[in-house]
Amino acid sequence: MSGHSKWSTIKRKKEKTDNQRAKVFTKIGREIAVVVREGGPDPASNSKLKDVIAKAKANNVPNDNIERIIKKASGAEAVAYEELSYEGYGPSGVAVIVEAATDSKNRTAGNVRHGFDKFGGNLGQSGCVGFLFSEKGVIIVSGVDEYGDVVVDSDKLMEDALECGASDFLEEDNIFTIYTEPDDLSAVCDALTEKGYKFESAEKAKVPATYVSLSPEDAEKMTKMLDYFEEDDDIVNVYHNWDEN
């Protein structure tokens, strides 16, 4: 089936230091805070919260942490984070979307603009690259364990994924990318979990229709840009159409 793996991005993030993994927890915490404020603390009636909880669990955020974040976010003294989205171009015109959850719009806007400018890109107008992406549920399953032994049968996983409601399936070097309609992500995750599958990643994401390759020099700039954005606690998601493989 058609598609393109996010594994390069996921793997790069998973190879970060403990300090940077803690940043992932912080960013997901902000995402939870935003959706709790919008739709309440009960994932049964707040589908956005249910999706972010699935993302949190795939990133190994402990259940106690998740419950504590939800409780804090629903309290009277919770920080009121604002959701913001920026669009622009990386080196050689790579399309980039930056999503933030912040308590200081001016600070975040300045930091995002600086990130684009510093690494050979430029911040654009709203909508300048958004049309190149579509929102999908994206689930990543590794077919091998930490020792490199094959632990997932690709044909069985594809059959199970489609039976559970997935819309597309991609296999690449024993890494499986399962796509769902945005509103089906939680249900597909739950169904696959019941069948015993574990996820490297599970989240709603903006998936580009096409990808572009970069020269080694521009690839280095793009990597530095992504690292810069990942270091910023205000920035919770970055999407792009650079082919990292």
The reply to whether 132-208 shares the fold of 83-128+211-240 is yes
User: What are the DSSP calls for 96-152, one per residue?
Assistant: EEEEEEES-HHHHHHHHHHHHHHTT-EE--TTTTGGGEEEEEEEEEESB-TTS-B--
Computed on alpha carbons and rounded to an integer, the radius of gyration of the chain in Å comes to: 18
* Percentage with pLDDT > 90 across the chain: 75
Domain ranges within the chain, ordered by starting residue:
7-73, 83-128+211-240, 132-208
Determine the pLDDT at residue 207.
Answer: 94
pLDDT averaged over the chain? 90
pLDDT band at 11; cut points 50, 70, 90: low
Per the CB < 8 A criterion, the answer to whether 76 and 212 are in contact is: no
Summarize pLDDT for 164-202 with one digit per residue, the tens: 999 999 998 888 999 999 999 999 999 999 999 999 889
- CATH classification of 7-73 is 1.10.10.200, yes or no? yes
Domain 83-128+211-240, second-level architecture: 2-Layer Sandwich (3.30)
Q: What is the pTM of this model?
A: 0.88
Per CATH, the homologous superfamily of domain 132-208 is YebC, transcriptional regulation domain (3.30.70.980)
